[in-house]
Amino acid sequence: MTEPSAEPASGPLRRLGRAAWLWLLGDVPELPREPGSAVLVGVVCTAAAMGMWLSERHGLHGGPMAVGAWRMLVHGCVPLAALAAWELHVARAAGRLAAAPAAIVALGITLLLLPVAVGLTKAGAHDLAGSPAQRILLPAVVGATLVLVALRAMGARLGDWGIGLGDWRWWLPHHGVLLLALLPVIAAVTCMVPALAHYYPLYKPARTSLDALQLSLSAVALDFVGWEFLFRGFLLFGIARRGDAVLAMLLQALPFFLMHEPKPEVEMISSYFGGVLAGWFCLRARSFLPLYVIHVAIITTVSVTAFWLRRG
């Protein structure tokens, strides 16, 4: 009688690796296909494209805080305005508008505030290095806050757009493990890849001045609020409402990859695969917040490592 062959040594290791992978990222969510989702995806893709176009073709030249504030405005508030318009449509169809008159007033004020922010910004661009908060941040923050309050008043589920803490009991420990594993690797890669160390920090004074480095990283943290909401909130969760989580993960990673075009090749290539995994994590976490923290931590690690390499 022939004895059964022993399991290959790689079998347990493969199962262990798969288990660790799924623990870290979770299962790919199974999502229902919502009515009207084809129109929703069209609205989402159009608004995302407009935000990216404003950022790339109509950006500002000034101090890092001015640039960060502008990018936060166009990447974050343009999609947020489209989100509000869609939820107004949904609320109207469901007959919920009569119950939330304050929401309509708040959205109306917001529609005025956002063009004011853009107009003041472009008209006074030469002054922005000294006063980005007055010209951009205040109208943007007030407008965004009013939108969120209005949406809640109308009964909109903000979690459907990745806004909020999501399933924080799941993602918080996984997030901590991911950061502990990822950041040393990022620092090592920066040391080993001269193109990265040469490219960062983007703000040239931050390459030799610690104060300028702190200013630069503060601006990046501001910028990434809009950036991560655009890709891992609005775009990812909007497309996912079509009922195909994998397609949503792949599609939101493509413009994210293309927006890295001027950066070193190692970063650009990794941005696509990292973007897909980021989408997976955020869909499971039901929030874009974890990737905001990770992205800020990555750029901080790269910039600080490059700064100290220059000093050494």
What average pLDDT does this structure show over 249-255? Answer: 94
Helix (H), strand (E), coil (C) string for 209-278: CHHHHHHHHHHHHHHHHHHHHHHHHHHHHHHHCCCCHHHHHHHHHHHHHHCCCCCCHHHHHHHHHHHHHH
Instruction: State the residue for tokens 């660790």.
Output: 20
114: Cα separation from own chain's centroid: 20
For residues 302 and 189, give the distance between their C-alpha atoms in angstroms, rounded to a whole number.
9
What integer pLDDT is reported at residue 126 of this predicted model? Answer: 44
What average pLDDT does this structure show over 72-90? Answer: 86
Query: Quick one: tokens of 184?
Result: 């040393």
Q: Which helix (H) or strand (E) holds 279?
A: helix 265-285
Phi and psi angles of residue 180, each rounded to the nearest 5 degrees, phi first: -60, -35
- Residue 97 reports pLDDT greater than 70: no
Instruction: State the residue for tokens 């931590």.
Output: 297
Cα Rg, the chain, nearest whole Å:
22
CA distances from 88 to 56, 155, 186 (A): 29, 10, 43
Instruction: State the residue for tokens 């002054």.
Output: 127
3-state secondary structure of 170: helix
The verdict on whether omega for the bond into residue 201 sits within 30 degrees of 0, i.e. cis, is yes
Domain residue ranges of the chain, discontinuous segments joined by +: 30-156, 161-312
Answer yes or no: are the C-beta atoms of 62 and 131 closer than 8 Å.
no
What integer pLDDT is reported at residue 182 of this predicted model? Answer: 92
What average pLDDT does this structure show over 34-55? Answer: 90
Full-model pTM: 0.86
3-state secondary structure of 28: coil
122 — pLDDT class (breaks 50, 70, 90): low
Answer yes or no: are the C-beta atoms of 100 and 91 closer than 8 Å.
yes
What average pLDDT does this structure show over 32-48? Answer: 90
Q: Give 185-221 pLDDT, tens digit per residue.
A: 999 999 999 999 999 998 999 999 999 999 999 999 9
In this structure, of 70-74, 161-165, 242-246, the range with the lowest mean pLDDT score is: 70-74
Answer yes or no: are the C-beta atoms of 140 and 72 closer than 8 Å.
yes
Find the DSSP H helices in 37-161: 37-57, 64-72, 78-94, 101-123, 132, 138-153
Q: Which helix (H) or strand (E) holds 290?
A: helix 289-311
For residues 71 and 222, give the distance between their C-alpha atoms in angstroms, rounded to a whole number.
9
For residues 201 and 303, give the distance between their C-alpha atoms in angstroms, rounded to a whole number.
5
What integer pLDDT is reported at residue 25 of this predicted model? Answer: 79
What integer pLDDT is reported at residue 134 of this predicted model? Answer: 61
Q: Give 2-18 pLDDT, tens digit per residue.
A: 555 555 555 776 776 66
Q: Which residue has the higher pLDDT, 109 or 259?
A: 259
What integer pLDDT is reported at residue 291 of this predicted model? Answer: 95
